Amino acid sequence: MYLVSISAKESIIEGKGVFAEQDIKKGEIVWKFVEGHDKTVSLDEYALLGAEAREYLDKVAYLSATSHQYIFPPEDDPALYTNHDAEHHNLSVVVDPHVSDEPFFVANRDIAKGEELTNNYHEFDEAIKMKEAIPSWLQ
């Protein structure tokens, strides 16, 4: 769940993106897993899903290195539109069990109101790390 004010708008990266509706300071926690809001799917549940459902989760969820579950936002959450940017992402993953049992994201620099919030999926998605072939949309 985003802990800062955001909105989903058209993105030059791909489709929609998540944009800051406030200035965000470097080091500020921007997103973290909130039980009861964010959704989870176990590896066993994922394996039982049909191809279309797995493809959807591959796009909107990440496989957590800590819980070994797929984590994703609910359907009405703008976080679904957080785009990948391997080189210029402004959110970085942090693992600190004193803050959250799951990885969370902090601003890796000051972010101005109106900027698109992006992260590098390769930093935190164990499913991507395990795949031999990276989807074209992620390169």
For residues 18 and 85, the answer to whether their CB atoms sit within 8 Å is no
Reading the block at residue 21, the tokens are 């509706």
The confidence score (pLDDT) of residue 101 equals 92
Ordered domains of the chain (ranges, CATH): 6-138 (2.170.270.10)
Global pTM reads 0.87
Q: Which of 112, 120, 121 is nearest to 20 (CA)?
A: 112
pLDDT tens, N- to C-terminus, the chain (139 residues): 999 999 999 999 989 999 999 999 999 999 999 999 999 999 999 999 999 999 999 889 999 999 999 999 999 999 999 999 988 999 999 999 999 999 999 999 999 999 999 999 888 888 887 765 455 545 4
